Chain A
């Protein structure tokens, strides 16, 4: 049984102009100890999916319209706030994108780590603070004894993100959702953070749902990849399969648009971009959502939304060009 099994999840938002279909039928499964990467451009619904798992969406205007979020077999969607509170941080933790604004400026970081531990493991103030120091050590923050009493504004962006990781891992959760953890950081720091995540994963064996729009990061870290576009999953495969044989035109476009330093020196190839922009998701019409930008579009593409079908073992695509495996 997968650790986390998202089935047919639909999260919509009420706006003045109608319902916004941010997540419109998404299936993602994560096994214990696995790293699954969810990729797609801004606005495709990856963050909303992650926040829906944690039930961190504002419920109005948001609403889980359909689907299930099965955590170890148990559906989280109907759970009330008390039960969700027991799961958050203890079983599933989340790391957000913006380290500069994700920490409360008026509390020390020691306190921000410790409060999670006190809550879920009932430790005393002193014990929780000791755990905080341990966690800071774990995420490679120098002189943790001293730093534990410092305030967020006294840390750089990269270090704050490490603190966020420390907070996320403090109660030893089974799944860590990392929502674009490196997007707001410098490239060199990005590498450090990813390495850190990887080493922590090796050490503690938790599953990771890594959300990103950088394909290069995916190649480094993930075992499976889920590609999302306009609120739907368009392709899913192991990382090797995805990069070797991308099937969906969108995935192909993504992979071809990665700048390649190694080949650029040898052949001068023009960087391919995918023309057009993401469609507005307010009460979208039927039909493949990528049709407006697709090189291979046919009239059939606009009449019905192609379902996500398994075309070879472990490799699923939602495209009319790739029928299901017989």
Chain B
């Protein structure tokens, strides 16, 4: 198993390098050369400009500039944000946990809904439960998150007045009240993301279970006299989870995209909204660093999915 993890790690590294090359190429190719631009940007103080020229080595050949950029990225030396006058790594570390928590909890919510509903729908395909669940799922993933987000705000914040729709990270309450306040303000972004994910996940689970349920070994399990319930929960689900896990991991890049949108709507101070702000304000170091961090996160989640897949499927690890 360790062998397998090691092998996956080895594959992940070239991907990371590949992504960094793509990122760098995009930035270098962009006409108007952002490096050049920020050097002449009046917001940038002179010392910073000097440092940047040095750091980016604007007159060096491209591959040298790339290597320098890559090493400083990997060292954690992400530069200095123009707008916030703060080191970029500080800025990111401040906001990263919020994003991770929101994404993490939304995925948990999605799984909690999608797994049972998907399995039940697949066990009795085309029944009324399946039809209703599938239709709701279709509606769910056809509603763009920004639309659901503002509908939620309209309904729960403005109409019902239950939840605040502006996120505040400086909540002063303590103890249970602290958690309750945090819950009230994060439940909406978490739900918007989570329900959207649950919709497509439910279809995946249903499809995976439908594929597994007609396989021979399920008939063998039934022939042993196991209750249908045991057959499904023990034999079918365990196998159906394997492709579902893979799909969930492959969806990760899209989930981050969704998080960016919800952070905008609910004004959650995560790295998604940081990215948007930075783009709208031409804050290049922040843009580059955030994109790099997001790419690393995607690779990390792919690796995690590979590991879980190896754990779930003995054919991989005991190959």
A and B interact? yes
- On A, residues with C-beta under 8 Å from B are 54, 56, 81-82, 84-90, 93-94, 96, 98, 101-107, 115-116, 119-120, 151, 153-154, 164, 167
B216 near A101 with CB under 8 A, answer: yes
A102 near B220 with CB under 8 A, answer: yes
Contact flag A151-B314 (CB < 8 Å), given A103-B220, A106-B238 = yes
Kindly list chain B residues whose C-beta atoms are within 8 Å of the C-beta of A151: 314-315, 318
B220 near A96 with CB under 8 A, answer: yes
Once the chains are docked, how many angstroms separate the CA of A96 from the CA of B222? Answer: 12
A90 near B223 with CB under 8 A, answer: no
Within 8 Å of chain A (Cβ to Cβ): is B28?
A: no
With A54-B223, A56-B222, A88-B222 known, 9 other A-B pairs at CB within 8 A are A88-B225, A96-B219, A101-B217, A102-B216, A102-B217, A103-B220, A104-B217, A105-B315, A107-B235
Kindly list chain A residues whose C-beta atoms are within 8 Å of the C-beta of B217: 101-105
Choose from B225, B228, B239 the contact partner of A106 (Cβ within 8 Å). Answer: B239
Once the chains are docked, how many angstroms separate the CA of A102 from the CA of B219? Answer: 8
A135 CB to nearest chain B CB (Å) = 13
A317 CB to nearest chain B CB (Å) = 33
Choose from B216, B224, B313 the contact partner of A89 (Cβ within 8 Å). Answer: B224
A115 near B226 with CB under 8 A, answer: yes
Choose from A54, A88, A93, A106 the contact partner of B314 (Cβ within 8 Å). Answer: A106
Choose from B221, B225, B235 the contact partner of A86 (Cβ within 8 Å). Answer: B225
A298 CB to nearest chain B CB (Å) = 43
B225 CB to nearest chain A CB (Å) = 4
Within 8 Å of chain A (Cβ to Cβ): is B312?
A: yes
B224 near A115 with CB under 8 A, answer: yes
A55 CB to nearest chain B CB (Å) = 9
Kindly list chain B residues whose C-beta atoms are within 8 Å of the C-beta of A89: 223-225
- On B, residues with C-beta under 8 Å from A are 215-217, 219-228, 235, 238-239, 312-315, 318
Most buried by A among B215, B219, B220, B235: B220
B219 near A119 with CB under 8 A, answer: no
The 6 closest A-B pairs by CB, nearest first: A88-B225, A101-B216, A104-B217, A85-B225, A116-B224, A89-B225
B189 CB to nearest chain A CB (Å) = 36
Kindly list chain A residues whose C-beta atoms are within 8 Å of the C-beta of B238: 104, 106-107
Chain A interface main SS type: mixed
Kindly list chain B residues whose C-beta atoms are within 8 Å of the C-beta of A104: 217, 220-221, 235, 238-239
Once the chains are docked, how many angstroms separate the CA of A96 from the CA of B315? Answer: 22
A88 near B224 with CB under 8 A, answer: yes
Kindly list chain A residues whose C-beta atoms are within 8 Å of the C-beta of B228: 81
Kindly list chain A residues whose C-beta atoms are within 8 Å of the C-beta of B216: 96, 98, 101-102
A59 CB to nearest chain B CB (Å) = 12
Contact flag A119-B239 (CB < 8 Å), given A96-B219, A104-B217 = no
Once the chains are docked, how many angstroms separate the CA of A98 from the CA of B215? Answer: 11
Contact flag A119-B225 (CB < 8 Å), given A102-B216, A105-B314, A151-B314 = yes
Contact flag A90-B315 (CB < 8 Å), given A96-B220, A101-B215, A104-B235 = no
User: What are 7 inter-chain pairs, A to B, with CB distance below 8 A?
Assistant: A96-B220, A105-B313, A107-B235, A116-B225, A120-B225, A151-B314, A151-B315
A47 CB to nearest chain B CB (Å) = 11
Once the chains are docked, how many angstroms separate the CA of A256 from the CA of B79? Answer: 87
A227 CB to nearest chain B CB (Å) = 25
User: Which B-chain residue is minimally distant from A150 (CB atoms)?
Assistant: B318
Kindly list chain B residues whose C-beta atoms are within 8 Å of the C-beta of A103: 217, 220
User: Which B-chain residue is minimally distant from A153 (CB atoms)?
Assistant: B315
A139 CB to nearest chain B CB (Å) = 16
B62 CB to nearest chain A CB (Å) = 49
Once the chains are docked, how many angstroms separate the CA of A105 from the CA of B235? Answer: 10
B110 CB to nearest chain A CB (Å) = 23
